[in-house]
Amino acid sequence: MHLHILGICGTFMGSLALLARDMGFDVSGSDAGVYPPMSTQLEEAGIVLREGYAASNLDPRPDRVVIGNALSRGNPEVEAVLDRGLTYVSGPQWLAEQVLPGRRVIAVAGTHGKTTTASLLAWLLESSGLEPGFLIGGVPRNFGVSARLGGQGAPFVVEADEYDTAFFDKRSKFVHYRPDIAILGNLEFDHADIFDDLTAIERQFHHLVRTVPGRGRLLVADGEPALERVLEMGCWTPVERFGNQSASAWRFELEREDASRFRVIHQQGDTDEDAVIDWSLTGTYNARNALAALAGAHACGVDLARGCAALARFETPRRRQEVRGEVAGIQVIDDFAHHPTAIAATLEGLRAATSRGRLLAVIEPRSNTMRLGTLRSRLAESVASADQSFWYQPSGIDWSLESMLAEIPASSHLVEDIDALVQALVAEAKPLDRIVVMSNGGFGGIHERLLAALEAAHG
């Protein structure tokens, strides 16, 4: 059966393509502006990619077309699908119909940390011999792929996104998954292009809560007022909380300030069990991600001590504090941070782990929320932990970053050309500095260009 995927290089759709190929489908797809790591992953899997959207991409006629949520009416390939009367479906619906039936589904939801938490959870299940399937919006380096079917009947971990499903289905993606276990990691305003306010997103999260059965489990972060409001709308499933509040079933105590070592305490009735995590990640937000993953794995039968030991071997997903290279003692780090809260948390964690040298933040405000300027009042404070910040103003953004930069106490720079940005970074960077590049897109291949320029300057 020939399956053709529109928007195949998106993290979700590319992962879907890998699952379909492993199920025996003949898979092809089209996209515009493809970039690694997804394009590389698909090419290595032997999946045919067609650059750009055109009616000719639908020849020969596919049996079914899966349409990504980045596609809308007016797109030439979408119009051809409709005009030719082809059978089409959204990605989340295809996953729900073809992959998830008969599996114990664990959905990882939240504004931030979904990819890391889902990767942690999949690794914990794998380390315990459960052979999980998964679909994650990134590439977990412990697995090398963003999706796999896993063992027959094994648990399936899915990164559960609140963004809408498709141009013909405006519900959040995660309502399709019907999970047995749902992790709610945090919740704040995002996706200003489709949601009017936080209340609208809370309503979608409650739609997810409604789908979790009474025999299932909700794992909910403590200290999150928006999540508490979601539960107040109605809850029919046992709830366990995780975080650092004393009443939570899962909590942590730092043993190093940068959260690279901490103790996990799991309270069950009147008894506690505990174990220590000593790993390569930093930041209290990653400690919370680990708690969520441990709670999810424990619900699937994974022992706490064994799970904590496995996390010592965990590698961050691609583009999550990923060290892309080091030249002359200058480290280049790639991070997917796409929201002021995520930017601040990443930089705070790296600051705590940086004893020598400076932290230079490089930011492309590329997400729809940041491009619209909805959260621009919070952008200046998000880089408080950086010694200097470099801001790239991409074309198509309808507000200027210049006035915002005046509010940043540390040195800041505004650049409108990537070559000029690379030159400025090379001129500024010194041995022991860490350059953190933050974008949810390809950023014009800046990582490779920066490393090459540093090599030329210091080689």
* pLDDT, mean over the chain: 88
On whether both 349 and 280 belong to a single domain, the answer is no
pLDDT tens digit sequence for 327-350: 888 888 888 766 777 788 778 777
Take residue 244 and report the two structure tokens written for it.
Answer: 């650092």
Is 215 a domain residue? yes
pTM, two decimals, is 0.78
284 annotated as belonging to a binding site for a ligand: no
Is 53 a domain residue? yes
For the cut 80, the answer to whether the pLDDT of residue 403 exceeds it is: no
Is 134 a domain residue? yes
458 annotated as belonging to a binding site for a ligand: no
- pLDDT grade, residue 64 (50/70/90)? very high
On whether both 285 and 403 belong to a single domain, the answer is no
- pLDDT grade, residue 242 (50/70/90)? very high
Tell me phi and psi for residue 266, to 5 degrees. Answer: -115, 115
Residues in the chain, total: 459
Check: CB of residue 436 under 8 Å from CB of residue 347.
yes
Take residue 83 and report the two structure tokens written for it.
Answer: 């005009």
111 annotated as belonging to a binding site for a ligand: yes
On whether both 65 and 140 belong to a single domain, the answer is no
Is 316 a domain residue? no
- pLDDT grade, residue 404 (50/70/90)? low
User: How many structural domains compose the chain?
Assistant: 3
At 307 the pLDDT is 95
Question: Which residue, 90, 122, 140, sits at the end of a domain?
Answer: 90
- Residue 368 sits in a domain whose CATH number is 3.90.190.20
For the cut 70, the answer to whether the pLDDT of residue 279 exceeds it is: yes
On whether both 279 and 414 belong to a single domain, the answer is no
Is 379 a domain residue? yes
Is 301 a domain residue? yes
**How many whole angstroms separate alpha carbon 350 and alpha carbon 368?**
26
At 278 the pLDDT is 94
pLDDT tens digit sequence for 422-433: 888 888 888 888
Q: Which residues pair with 239 in a beta bridge?
A: 218
Q: Is the peptide bond before 37 cis (omega within 30 degrees of 0)?
A: yes
Which segment of 48-62, 97-111, 284-298, 341-355 scores lowest on mean pLDDT?
Answer: 341-355
For residue 381, the enclosing domain spans: 322-458
- pLDDT grade, residue 400 (50/70/90)? low
On whether both 332 and 440 belong to a single domain, the answer is yes
Q: Who contacts 40 (Cβ-Cβ below 8 Å, separation ≥6)?
A: none
- pLDDT grade, residue 274 (50/70/90)? very high
Residue that wins the pLDDT comparison between 374 and 453:
453
**Mean pLDDT throughout 95-107?**
97
pLDDT tens digit sequence for 194-221: 677 889 999 999 999 999 999 999 999 9
For the cut 90, the answer to whether the pLDDT of residue 402 exceeds it is: no
CA-to-CA separations, 14 to 34, 50, 68, 72, 138, in angstroms, rounded? 11, 13, 10, 18, 10
170 annotated as belonging to a binding site for a ligand: no
At 317 the pLDDT is 66
For the cut 60, the answer to whether the pLDDT of residue 84 exceeds it is: yes
On whether both 364 and 415 belong to a single domain, the answer is yes
At 87 the pLDDT is 98
Residue that wins the pLDDT comparison between 307 and 389:
307
- Residue 79 sits in a domain whose CATH number is 3.40.50.720
- pLDDT grade, residue 377 (50/70/90)? low
At 88 the pLDDT is 98
Is 412 a domain residue? yes
At 459 the pLDDT is 66
Take residue 187 and report the two structure tokens written for it.
Answer: 């919740």
**Mean pLDDT throughout 92-116?**
94
Question: Which residue, 255, 286, 311, sits at the end of a domain?
Answer: 311
At 345 the pLDDT is 76
On whether both 291 and 333 belong to a single domain, the answer is no
Which segment of 200-204, 277-281, 354-358 scores lowest on mean pLDDT?
Answer: 354-358
Is 175 a domain residue? yes
- pLDDT grade, residue 397 (50/70/90)? low
For the cut 60, the answer to whether the pLDDT of residue 372 exceeds it is: no
243 annotated as belonging to a binding site for a ligand: no
- pLDDT grade, residue 399 (50/70/90)? low
Residue that wins the pLDDT comparison between 163 and 131:
131
CA 214 from centroid of its chain's CA atoms: 28
Q: Which of 230, 232, 236 is nearest to 217 (CA)?
A: 236
- Residue 106 sits in a domain whose CATH number is 3.40.1190.10
**CA 344, 346, 348: angle at the middle one, nearest 5?**
65
Q: Which residues pair with 437 in a beta bridge?
A: 334, 362
At 106 the pLDDT is 98
For the cut 80, the answer to whether the pLDDT of residue 117 exceeds it is: yes
pLDDT tens digit sequence for 125-156: 999 999 999 999 878 888 888 899 999 999 99
At 79 the pLDDT is 98
On whether both 257 and 370 belong to a single domain, the answer is no
On whether both 254 and 284 belong to a single domain, the answer is yes
On whether both 301 and 333 belong to a single domain, the answer is no
On whether both 289 and 240 belong to a single domain, the answer is yes
On whether both 261 and 348 belong to a single domain, the answer is no
**How many whole angstroms separate alpha carbon 257 and alpha carbon 406?**
31
Question: Which residue, 90, 115, 143, sits at the end of a domain?
Answer: 90
